[in-house]
A and B are shown apart, each in its own frame.
Chain A
Amino acid sequence: MRFDSVTNLVEEALAEFANWSFSSYGVQKLNRTTPMVAFGVAPGSDANSFKLAVRSRTPFGLDLPPVQNIVSQVKSEADILVTGNIRGPRRVVGLGTADKSEMKERMRPLRAGYSVGHHRITAGTLGVFVKGKEGIMMLSNNHVLANSNTAKVGDAILQPGRYDGGADPKDIVGKLVAFKEMKENGNIMDAAIASIDKAYLPKDLSLPKIGKIGKKIISPSDILGKQVQKIGRTTDYTKGTVTAVNLRNVAVGYGEGKVFRFDQLIEVRIPGGSFSAGGDSGSFVVDMDRNPVGLLFAGSAQNTLLCAIEPILKEFKVEICA
């Protein structure tokens, strides 16, 4: 697009955002935890072309109707980033079109590590395949497969997630089977499972770029101070160090002012870097011997948080397909 076309779009986007009724979306007033979205001009494919820059503090900001309206108008001409909470200089990682991880692509049959999501969310990561009395299913987060408590059992799951081009109905690969409801306090997991349509059942159960999953579930006390690895939709393959376990009373923001507190979490850090970013939620984290450790679900500029895997398997009465 030309520069003046983009600046006109920015004006249009800001006007629409300013006039939009937040209360109709369950947001009573803007406050520090409301997802804030900014618009501007980003470089295009050459020196004379430009894109609409959309910057959101959380993935949830991208779900707001005025943002969806403007992005659907410009489609691939939008340069979209989820920035997290910005406090001075820091790394910014993309959720949408800005970076090109292959894990955002359509994958049939399904494989772990790729983009997935409830049909109303942006995108997350298919963590791992699990086996229960309903057969082989996919495991990811509640906020990826069950839209943070708001979905209904039987809702459609898309691969890739909607934000990576997944469309309803052509990319429906399964249905929500169960999720653990998150409450204000005392949560120990952000997790959900979904069925897989027969045609898309996995043929390869390994984790891309990592390999066959081990059978020994690693306890939090045994993993403290050791390296772990994951494959995820946004930051692809990363390694980090477990810096704290059994974390209690951890506040995690879920957009629109919602905050849930968690216990029994595992913290992962990379000095000067990020183990994960928006869209990596649901990634299955294993130790360097590929044994199960946890399910990635949240993070800040400084750390990444995992739910321990054992309580999740018990909750859903499933075992990991390895």
Chain B
Amino acid sequence: MDAQFKIVDDAAQALNSFFGIKDWLLGVGVGKKNGVFCIEVRVTPTAPANAVPDTYNGVSVNVMKQDMAVAQ
């Protein structure tokens, strides 16, 4: 596994633990923005403003609002 990926994945895991279970939280993972790994956070449209930080453990955070997924 790419060392940079591992750093971001660890940060994503830490952010996920920090959030815990929230009814507005739909997932925390690793993405790529402008060729650089980042933390990806998925939230419902009802998530409180400022619930997700811009960076966490020095890693930038990209957040997207969406519906909860259903089994297809």
Contact = CB atoms under 8 A, between A and B. Distances in A.
A281 B12 contact: no
Interface range on chain B (Cβ under 8 Å from partner): 20 to 34
A265 B29 contact: yes
Interface stretch (A42-50, A112-120, A201-209, A240-248): A240-248
Contacts of A296: 72
A84 B71 contact: no
Interface residues of A, number: 48
Contacts of A60: 71
Given A253-B68, A297-B71, A221 B28 contact: no
Contacts of B40: 243-244, 247, 267
B52 interface: no
A303 B45 contact: no
Contacts of B57: none
Contacts of B31: 224, 243-245
B16 interface: yes
B53 interface: no
Contacts of B1: 219, 221
Contacts of A277: 72
Contacts of B32: 224-225
A238 interface: no
Interface of B: 1-2, 5, 9, 12-13, 16, 19, 21, 25-32, 37, 40, 42, 45, 64, 66-72
23 contacts: A85-B68, A87-B67, A124-B72, A148-B71, A221-B30, A245-B31, A246-B30, A248-B12, A248-B29, A249-B21, A249-B27, A254-B71, A255-B70, A265-B27, A279-B72, A297-B72, A298-B69, A298-B71, A298-B72, A299-B70, A300-B67, A302-B64, A305-B69
